[in-house]
């Protein structure tokens, strides 16, 4: 049983390191993305995501530093691809509204990846008996879900306005 717990904890540490790396990368990218948006609501959401990423990164760093040292986590290639795709697509579009929709779509993909990762990390923490960590991860997961819903709502409103203007 002890070997199973050690194996689960090893996977948990790997997940936490990957999440920390993802949050660190988002903190570097978000300011340039919100500078490129022309929609105030999107800019506000992205600034809030930066604040949340900073807070989450601090929590993750504390846990990783407390746990047994492990090899460095691999880069989060899926998120990197979402960011690159979003930046390339948005830079090729002249219309400000469409560019903002592409930014929203890119961050929805990133939020989806983070939702899956935080959900898995929460389950792994529970399996290791780290209930306090699991509770904090559940809280972070809730914040990520709320952010995703906000992106959906702003994107929906923007599409609705665009359709109204087109008619």
Which pLDDT tens digit goes with each residue over 68-86? 654 444 546 677 777 777 7
- Region 104-125: mean pLDDT is 88
The pLDDT assigned to 21 comes to 87
101 — pLDDT class (breaks 50, 70, 90): confident
Please report, rounded to a whole number, the percentage of residues in the chain having pLDDT higher than 70: 90
Contact 106, 89 (CB under 8 A): yes
Query: Which pLDDT value is given to residue 71?
Result: 47
Mean pLDDT of 7-36: 84
**Does the pLDDT value for residue 106 go beyond 60?**
yes
Structure confidence at residue 118 as a pLDDT band (50, 70, 90): very high
State pTM to two decimals. 0.77
What's the mean per-residue pLDDT of the chain? 83
Evaluate if residue 1 carries a pLDDT over 60: no
- Judged against a pLDDT cut of 80, whether residue 156 lies above it is answered with yes
The CATH number corresponding to 2-166 among 1.50.10.150, 1.20.1260.10, 3.10.105.10, 2.40.420.20 equals 1.20.1260.10
pLDDT of residue 164 exceeding 60: yes
How much of the chain exceeds pLDDT 90, in percent? Answer: 24
């Amino acid at each position: 049983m002890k070997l199973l717990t050690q194996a689960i904890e090893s996977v948990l540490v790997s997940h936490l390191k990957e999440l920390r790396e993802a949050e660190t990368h988002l903190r570097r990218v978000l300011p340039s993305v919100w500078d490129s948006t022309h929609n105030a609501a999107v800019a506000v959401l992205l600034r809030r995501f930066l604040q949340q990423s900073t807070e989450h990164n601090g929590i993750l760093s504390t846990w990783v530093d407390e746990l047994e040292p492990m090899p460095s986590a691999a880069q989060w290639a899926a998120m990197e691809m979402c960011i690159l795709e979003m930046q390339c697509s948005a830079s090729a579009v002249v219309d400000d509204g469409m560019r903002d929709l592409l930014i929203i779509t890119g961050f929805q993909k990133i939020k989806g990846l983070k939702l899956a990762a935080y959900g898995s990390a929460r389950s792994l923490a529970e399996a290791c008996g780290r209930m306090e960590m699991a509770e904090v991860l559940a809280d972070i997961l809730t914040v990520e879900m709320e952010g995703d819903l906000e992106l959906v709502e702003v994107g929906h409103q923007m599409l609705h306005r665009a359709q109204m203007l087109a008619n």
